[in-house]
Amino acid sequence: MRGFGKTTAALLSRSHVQHMGGANAIRSLIASAPPRSFHTSHQYAIPRNRSRGASALRRQPYPGRVSLQYLRDDLPQPVTDPDKHTDVVTSPEHGLWGFFNKERVSIPTPEEDHRHGRAWAVEELRHKSWDDLHKLWWACVKERNILATQQLERERVKPGYGESEAYTRNRLVRDTQRAIKHALTERYYAWQEALRVAESDPNIDLSGKGPAFTPQTLDSGLSTERVSDKERAPDAVSNSKDAKRLEL
């Protein structure tokens, strides 16, 4: 009786059951009862939040029901015949070509990798300007990118050659980069020492408000000495002529 609800329990009176005949009355009431949806939880416990399922980070609204659309046409099939493939035209000036050598080969031969020079020495780089060192540094970076691309291709294809030559070439490029850092570090220390000396020099102004270098005037004693040297010059010339005459 508990599961039939209040309406069904009210109709099951004793007189009605006696008139209808016991079990037949119960069957008739069950058949005439309106159908109800079955829920194991209370109706207010059903989640009715519109933002349920939304992202807590992006705060995107709940999209609701998403209809899946599809085309009635057949899906394209991949072309397996190499002769029917379309040629992909790329620009010869594309930036990704910088990860390949001049021949644009993914895996060069050991002879091609072995054709390289030596690393730059620190003594040679000391005479280079800042712009030259900057260009040389990025040339080394580009060379190492090419070697890294070739190494990845070797790991994929596994040809069985070229690792030793590529390692030697990469080591020489790294030696050049190390020499560039060494030369720049020396210049930095020289600049710090020159700045320390300039701060104690009265002829140099580091404030930036006027000329950086203002030489002092010469002393009068130095000027008289120079004048006297000029006056003595003709006498020295005459003495040299007399000495030559005596020799003759």
Q: What are phi and psi of 213, to 5 degrees?
A: -130, 125
- Domain edges within the chain: 2-34, 96-199
Q: Please give the Cα distance from 119 to 143 (Å, whole number).
A: 13
| Residue 188: predicted pLDDT | 95
| Residue 54: predicted pLDDT | 64
How does pLDDT run across 208-237, given as a tens digit for each residue?
A: 787 887 887 655 445 545 545 555 555 555
Amino acid identity of residue 107, one-letter, is: I
- What are the residues whose beta carbons fall under 8 Å from the beta carbon of 217, sequence distance 6 or more? none
CB-side exposure of 73: number of CA atoms within 13 Å?
3
CB of 116 closer than 8 Å to CB of 139? no
| Residue 171: predicted pLDDT | 95
| Residue 31: predicted pLDDT | 60
pTM for this model (two decimals): 0.51
**Averaged pLDDT of the chain:** 75
| Residue 43: predicted pLDDT | 55
CB of 150 closer than 8 Å to CB of 162? yes
Below-50 pLDDT ranges, the chain: 1-4, 6, 10-11, 17, 220-221, 224, 227, 244-248
User: What angle (nearest 5°) sits at the alpha carbon of residue 231, between those of residues 228 and 235?
Assistant: 125
How does pLDDT run across 106-119, given as a tens digit for each residue?
A: 899 888 888 888 99
